[in-house]
Structure 1
Amino acid sequence: MAKGEKISLEFGSSWGDGWSMEEEKTSKVLTILEPSAHRLVFQKEKRKGKVVTLVGVFNLSEEDAQKLLSTLKKSLACGGAYKEGWMEFQGDIAPKVREQLEKMEFRFKK
């Protein structure tokens, strides 16, 4: 190959063959349920060597979920976050969380 010669990068397909770079946007429909209609589950994960208790999946609006999380964090004296329908609490506190949520009429899977 001589200096200054251009290389052809055609591989037999073109953008006109149905390929596109646009992502399909699917809308998630969130149905907001009353507390007694929820069926929550617990999961435990280790993050950076520490236990995190996950509770979910909550079908609440973002605003209601943040209010509920704030109330639970204050009553349990722990940190936490709300991400994609799941509430994360620092520590292995599943029995305490369950007790507080049952007082608020949430239900759990057995």
Structure 2
Amino acid sequence: MDLEDQLRQLFPDHEPEKEQDNKVSSPDFWLQDDPLLCKYEKRKGKPQTIIAGYNGADKDFKALAKALKKYLHVGGGIKNEEIIIQGDYRDQIMDFLQKSGFAVKRVGG
């Protein structure tokens, strides 16, 4: 008898929730026509992914940064109109942005 069977016996009326996929929800930010630039740099010996080229409102820019950090479960910030994500996440960031409706251009390597 596994754990699920034991839980069903203890709580017969409970219906388990459906598992959620890591799907991108509808965007809360302005989509632009120009591609965003996604590049990789090492600053002070640590890898960072930088997203540049967003020309929307400041509020939308912060919402995009927050959505990226939440999606990747990493830290980061905004500096000089660039989103800085800790670590090398270019592929995941590009997938997220393309699913959100952005055009993305990979810069370097």
TM band (smaller chain): 0.5 to 0.7
Q: Is the 8 A contact 2:69 2:75 kept in 1?
A: yes
TM-score normalised per structure 1: 0.63
Alpha-carbon distance in structure 2 between the residues aligned to 1:75 and 1:109 = 20
Answer 1 or 2: higher relative contact order, Cα 8 Å, separation at least 6.
Answer: 2
Q: Is the 8 A contact 2:32 2:56 kept in 1?
A: no
TM superposition outliers: structure 1 runs of 4+ over 4 Å: none
Residue of structure 1 in register with 2:16 after alignment: none
Of residues 94, 97, 102 in structure 1, which corresponds to 2:90?
A: 94
Percent of aligned pairs sharing the same letter: 32
Higher strand share: 2
Of residues 83, 88, 99 in structure 1, which corresponds to 2:79?
A: 83
Q: What runs of 5+ residues in structure 1 fail to find an aligned partner?
A: 1-33
Shift of 1:38: 2.6
Alpha-carbon distance in structure 1 between the residues aligned to 2:31 and 2:65 = 14
Alpha-carbon distance in structure 2 between the residues aligned to 1:47 and 1:74 = 22
Q: Number of paired residues?
A: 77
Shift of 1:79: 0.8
C-alpha deviations, 1:11-62, integer Å up to 9, x for none? xxxxxxxxxxxxxxxxxxxxxxx52403112222112211011111111111
TM-score normalised per structure 2: 0.64
Q: What runs of 5+ residues in structure 2 fail to find an aligned partner?
A: 1-29
Alpha-carbon distance in structure 2 between the residues aligned to 1:91 and 1:47 = 11
Alpha-carbon distance in structure 1 between the residues aligned to 2:65 and 2:79 = 11
Instruction: Report the aligned-residue RMSD.
Output: 1.5
Residue of structure 2 in register with 1:27 after alignment: none
Kindly report which structure 2 residues correspond to 1:1-110, keeping only aligned pairs within 5 A, or say none: 34-109=30-105
Q: Is the 8 A contact 1:42 1:53 kept in 2?
A: yes
- SS of 1:81 mapped into structure 2: strand
Please identify the structure whose Cα radius of gyration is greater.
Answer: 1
